[in-house]
Amino acid sequence: MKRKKFLLLRFLSVVLACGAVSAAPKPNVILIFADDLGYGDLGCYGAEKIRTPHLDRMAAEGVRFTDFYVAAEVCTPSRAALLTGRYPLRSGMCGNVERVLFPNSKGGLPPGEITIAEALRGSGYATMHIGKWHLGIHEGSRPLDQGFEHSFGLPYSNDMDAKPGLPKGSTSSATPPADGWNVPLMRDGKIIEQPADQTTLTKRYTEEAVKFIGDHKTQPFFLYLAHTFPHVPLFASADFKGKSKAGIYGDTVEELDWSVGQILEALRKENLQENTLVVFTSDNGPWLIMGEQGGSAGPLRDGKGSTWDGGMRVPCLAWMPGRIKPSVSSQLVQAMDWFPTALSMAGVKLPDGVALDGINLSPHLLESLTLPERPYFFYRGPQLFACRIGPWKAHFVTQGGYGSQPKKPHEPPLLYHLGDDPAESKDVAAQHPEVLKKIQQAVQTHQSQMVPGVKQLKSNE
């Protein structure tokens, strides 16, 4: 009922907008989401062995964020938060027994959640999902149920649906068997290839994206391109395999860089660059236990699976030539901000009665205004582990990303000044009790207002 009401309101807004004498064109929005790309894996973030000229140019022409966070340390909850603008706990899309959805999981993104695609589609936008979904395969949770007119990609991670007898260690091998996984490639909910030829995925995703741009150049569009790589197992096309100094991991990242270059060139070709917001980021930090197949968090601590900064602080670039001035931003921004930002730039009202956790970044992006100070909360599954305000980050509980390490509660909490200590190596809690008090008060306020959704992943909390 909530969704139908929201779509009706959006339809009415379109009708009213059509009566305007001279309305400015609605901006297009493209969100490009890499999988397991680390903070240190792009040239513009310090990578030395991986060549990323197109992303480096995008950074030089737009905003490069130094302090950008995703809402979770693993795939499924991070994606749910990006598309809904809400902490995954609100939608039930997090757990600590199941940290992500699996092919046999019964849950998924609840039908009542409103995604960016749904909100923009109700205002006349063409919408498409390309790449990895990982938000559910059941009715109500699939891309076409969640606001996308079209979808092309994998239903979940490329390491799922492993074939029987796959040798141990194949996932992180430098030369994984090309036919070792049975994950399907789907178009609009129907399987078109199984197993998917993973060596072709980045190129095919890119071709679909370029075609979508060309087909919808005369109307506003929203494109969500969620790349399969550099999540293991790693595959690259013949044009890129063996070409990087960083092995197969670098090959896949360099092919992603090529993909971004193709998309930006398509926008320039259609003269859409000044009216298209393009965002490039990653769903979480690098999967360090995969060794050379797992990427780099650069100067940050730990990686995927943890609430240390290496697990949730990732590269992020925003590009819109002529509207967004080239800059490097150290403002604390996060993935849930793109929901209200996209709606604001499109002139779409935020959905009534929905608790959003992001803010509109338009004043910062378009006018270089400073964002208000606000707390950011680091969840691992349904439990809050840490909180950051300004340069200060307090850890109430810590745990390594993967392995057998147990949770370690901290009383008093650990405290780090990330401006001076991005590696989170020097606890300064004893010197700054007033900072800890401020952070703890913010946590109390947040938790008093948090209403968890129905659990979609298995959890013992």
Q: What pLDDT does 276 receive? A: 98
Q: What pLDDT does 403 receive? A: 81
Q: Is residue 405 over pLDDT 90?
A: no
Mean predicted confidence (pLDDT) in 417-433: 98
Q: Is residue 301 over pLDDT 80?
A: yes
Give the tens place of pLDDT for each residue, 215-257.
Answer: 999 999 999 999 999 999 999 999 999 999 999 999 999 999 9
Q: Contact 133/355 with Cβ under 8 angstroms?
A: no
375-449: what CATH class? alpha beta
Q: What pLDDT does 404 receive? A: 77
Q: Give residue 23's pLDDT band: very low, low, confident or very high (50, 70, 90).
A: low
Give the start-to-end residue ranges of the domains of the chain: 2-367, 375-449
Give percent above pLDDT 90 in the chain: 92
From the options 3.40.720.10, 3.40.50.300, 3.40.630.30, 3.40.50.1580, give the CATH code of 2-367.
3.40.720.10
Q: Is residue 22 over pLDDT 60?
A: no
Per the annotation, the verdict on 75 as an active-site residue is yes
Question: Does the CA dihedral 452-82-410-404 come out positive or negative?
Answer: positive
- 162/17: higher pLDDT: 162
Mean predicted confidence (pLDDT) in 126-142: 98
Q: Give residue 461's pLDDT band: very low, low, confident or very high (50, 70, 90).
A: confident
Mean predicted confidence (pLDDT) in 418-423: 98
Q: Give residue 5's pLDDT band: very low, low, confident or very high (50, 70, 90).
A: very low
Q: What pLDDT does 9 receive? A: 44
Q: What pLDDT does 20 receive? A: 39
Q: What pLDDT does 259 receive? A: 99
Q: Is residue 297 over pLDDT 50?
A: yes
Annotated catalytic residue: which of 54, 134, 227, 364?
A: 134
Q: Give residue 16's pLDDT band: very low, low, confident or very high (50, 70, 90).
A: very low
Annotated catalytic residue: which of 54, 75, 227, 387?
A: 75
Q: What pLDDT does 11 receive? A: 52
Give the tens place of pLDDT for each residue, 53-69.
Answer: 999 999 999 999 999 99
Q: Give residue 434's pLDDT band: very low, low, confident or very high (50, 70, 90).
A: very high
Q: Give residue 172's pLDDT band: very low, low, confident or very high (50, 70, 90).
A: very high
Per the annotation, the verdict on 18 as an active-site residue is no
Mean pLDDT of the chain: 95
